[in-house]
Amino acid sequence: MRYRPEQHLRRQRDIRIVREEGRRVDCQAFTVWWKPRADSPTPTGKNPARVCVIASYKAVGPAVQRNRAKRRLREVFRHQQEHLPPGCDLLLIARSAATRWPLAELEKRFAEACSQITPRRTSAPDA
């Protein structure tokens, strides 16, 4: 599945909300912060998961390593996004191991983290 433009988490306000109000899962090579969002679907009628990939100089290294870590984590998200509940915002924060670990291991860790992400619950009364 493609990584579409509507899946990019771009606004600083949205990123800050995920970081401050969301939950965290540590995957050793990267950290996943997630928060379900409560907004309306996109014009296409879908509410896809959105992601922001962050790689800092202190955690990952110079620009070449940071760019590589971000490319790899975006690819992991692209392959595993069907495991995420719709309407979920994610922050993937890279560490230096994200550039060294095999892609299969990164995907395995991301899938394990996705299993801990619970879908948004609706408060419908049981009749």
Q: How far apart are CA 126 and CA 82, in angstroms?
A: 28
Mode of pairing for the β-strands spanning 30-36 and 50-54: unpaired
Residue-range domain boundaries for the chain: 5-38+46-116
Question: Whole-model pTM above 0.85?
Answer: no
Q: How far apart are CA 22 and CA 10, in angstroms?
A: 16
pLDDT number for residue 116 = 85
Q: How far apart are CA 109 and CA 124, in angstroms?
A: 33
Average pLDDT in the 105-123 region? 78
Q: Does domain 5-38+46-116 have CATH number 3.30.230.10?
A: yes
> For 52-76, what is each residue's pLDDT tens digit?
999 999 999 999 999 999 999 999 9
